[in-house]
Amino acid sequence: MEEMKKLYIAGAHSRSRTLKAYLNYLYPDVEVLAYLVSEELQDENPDFVDGIPVFPIVYGKPGRVMDKDFPVYLGTRGMNHSKLMRELSAAGFPKIIPMTVDMDMELRNAYMEKWYREHGREFILIDNL
């Protein structure tokens, strides 16, 4: 994974929270600035998830400006990616990274390998038995 310090995660439910957990455990210096959601879904989401604000992708409150130079990871089901990519692009976010099945598996395996190692155990993939 490339060098990153700050990022956004699109979505505010279990997949997004899992992505945040993977990233924070594997890369402790990463800061998730906000969870971003489609504007029409803002009322269906809490204002904060795990202490991190949940903002609509188009955020127009005075005094609040999102730094669009930071990447946005799509932490939702793949069926939502196209819509989110369109909304994020239209809002001016240039770096949008979909969470693919392969990326999820890679992060999960790295997470588990680190966890096992820190607990004095060996992590072996089933494919390597």
- CATH architecture group of domain 6-99: 3-Layer(aba) Sandwich (3.40)
Domain boundaries, the chain: 6-99
Lowest mean pLDDT among 53-57, 79-83, 125-129: 125-129
Q: 37-79: per-residue pLDDT in tens? A: 988 777 788 889 989 999 998 765 555 667 888 999 999 988 8
Task: In whole angstroms, give the CA distance from residue 129 to residue 125.
Answer: 7
Provide the pLDDT for residue 20.
96
Task: In whole angstroms, give the CA distance from residue 42 to residue 100.
Answer: 24
Provide the pLDDT for residue 1.
47
User: What pTM was computed for the model?
Assistant: 0.85
Q: Alpha-carbon torsion 86, 88, 94, 99, what sign? A: negative
Task: In whole angstroms, give the CA distance from residue 71 to residue 34.
Answer: 11
